[in-house]
Amino acid sequence: MKKLLAGALALAMAWSPAAAFQAAAPAPAPSAPAPVPAAPAAHATAPLPDANPAVWVVRDADTTIYLFGTIHVLDTRPWFNDEVRRSFESASELVMEVIVPEDLSSVQQMMLRYAADPQHRQLSQRLSPADRRRLAAALEPLHAPPAAFDRFKPWFVAMVLQVAQAGRELGLESANGPETILSQAARTRHMPIGELESFELQLRLFDSLSDADQLAFLHETLRDLNRGTTRLGPLVQAWSRGDTARIAQLIAPERGDNSRIRRMLFTDRNRNWTRWIQDRLQRPGSVFIAVGAGHLAGPGSVIEDLQRAGIRVTRVPHVVAR
């Protein structure tokens, strides 16, 4: 999370209002990225119980595919144990939702390509007075003036704010997240690591939202931040219990009533991943797939799509390792 947030903030801070109108790239980023506020000490020191997230498995005669739902940012609670570790260690290949590039400069360049408004519209002029005030208040802890984000698209600003809140208020970090831990473990075991989507594809998905949908996304983010409400905390708790029904309930507002957004972010992607799993079942081997937990819970999930295709999906029982 720190890498992506630092990259986003450095990118925004480099693109000052004067530089924004230059036809080429923004001014060079500062030598040090914008500071990312550290999580309160209580997050780092408070003892946390073991998590028992859900793992599913699909099998045929010569192929085993484990499906593990992740929380992309997490605190320090132990989770890589019991059935998760056993399933992972029995696999010979790790496949993740996406592999984020390690090079911060390439991340910034890619973000700029999709996050900057090519029409040079000022974001502040597209927001209501109330949302302008909320945006200024939300950016204050990041030491970032609203003008630094004025030439960026609403979806990008909303994402930066959500990621920043996760770290600042909940002590959640991508360094603690399953993707990071699993990638490290796979490299230690010399396992090949693949991805279902590219980082650029995920940026394109958000960028393809209509202006109205992007502004609504930012408005909802600012409203929730202003109210001090977040679904991340309850989502982490549900994930830790392996409570997929609760996860489905919590992400329902994210799917929303907008059928275009729901289809683009959930339905179409889940179907694509289901087809990938069906194709992979045609080749022998053992694969551990890690994707966002919301894609494996509730109606229209990968689990449901596989079952509709006549593929048996079984939840791996929780057995404490001795």
pLDDT tens, position by position, 82-105: 999 999 999 999 999 998 887 878
- Closest residue by Cα to residue 98 from 216, 17, 193: 193
Half-sphere exposure of 58 (CA within 13 A, CB side): 26
Q: What is the CA radius of gyration of the chain?
A: 20
| pLDDT band, very low/low/confident/very high, at 281 (cuts 50, 70, 90) | very high
* pLDDT at residue 23, as a whole number: 20
| pLDDT band, very low/low/confident/very high, at 19 (cuts 50, 70, 90) | very low
* pLDDT at residue 31, as a whole number: 34
More confident residue, 220 or 41: 220
Distance (Å) of CA 217 to CA 19, 58, 207, 293, 296: 27, 35, 12, 21, 23
The neighbour count for residue 103, using CB atoms within 10 Å, is 12
Pairing of the two strands 285-292 and 93-98: parallel
Q: Are 271 and 277 in contact (CB under 8 A)?
A: no
- Closest residue by Cα to residue 283 from 90, 57, 61, 56: 61
d(CA 237, CA 51): 9
**Hey, which of 43-52, 203-212, 221-230 has the most confident mean pLDDT?**
203-212
| Range in 99-108, 168-177, 242-251, 260-269 the model is least confident about | 168-177
Instruction: Report the pLDDT averaged over residues 256-271.
Output: 77
Taken as a whole, the chain contains a residue count of: 322
Share of the chain above pLDDT 90, in %: 50
| Range in 35-39, 64-68, 235-239, 284-288 the model is least confident about | 35-39
Q: What is the pTM of this model?
A: 0.81
